[in-house]
Chains A and B, each alone.
Chain A
């Protein structure tokens, strides 16, 4: 299958998260997000069951069509000119018998924003998810209600707001979060 990102510049590449580059992920998360993630979070994203369907080579480029359906990657490091500048981490869940992908974190370092890196990264995930077998029914995520930009960003990728999760955040205000969702046909 081919990727739908034929127009993207070649500078961006993604690689999966492994125990060896987890230090980079930590570093990025500590700069990108207001929340300090628990040790469990880092353990989870390199857990063997997640690894199971992430048999991906260390490096691959979004522009090439190497994203194969059975290789759904739910966690990436984003590289720009060979420098790691962002991450994306998803988790597989089963909700009411449905196969669901939950987008836990996604972020790009400030100096590298507005260069469509986020879009390309998200597209890569969406493309892979759409082609994944067994079928992924939908993908959802939380956005803090103050973050209009983020909401717009996801909406431009066909996500729909379905509800407000009250008091979602414990340590930051506003504590409410939108739940955004995109179903795969």
Chain B
């Protein structure tokens, strides 16, 4: 079923706030770690944070793509959601394994950066949901 959605009913797709919060928190964390613990730890924190940022960026990209469609096929949305979930899982596993296994970054510090990035994403999304309702 295809329907044309009037402009005033188009959903607000601005999830940039959450991404900005995440990016800002990670930048500050990487700078602080660089000043206190040095370059190697800062690289590990930044890498972990970038994995979290890529994870949420993929979700935002898929969300934007879904919003561009004008059809109202809920089944297709559901398929897209499950596919996005799998893609994000694979992305996180691949990049964490790459950082810890191949690039030999300090695993606890990299995980700390990743966890910080995920928590910043949670906070950003919660702020956005608060603004929506």
A binds B: no
B contacts, CB < 8 Å to A: none
A contacts, CB < 8 Å to B: none
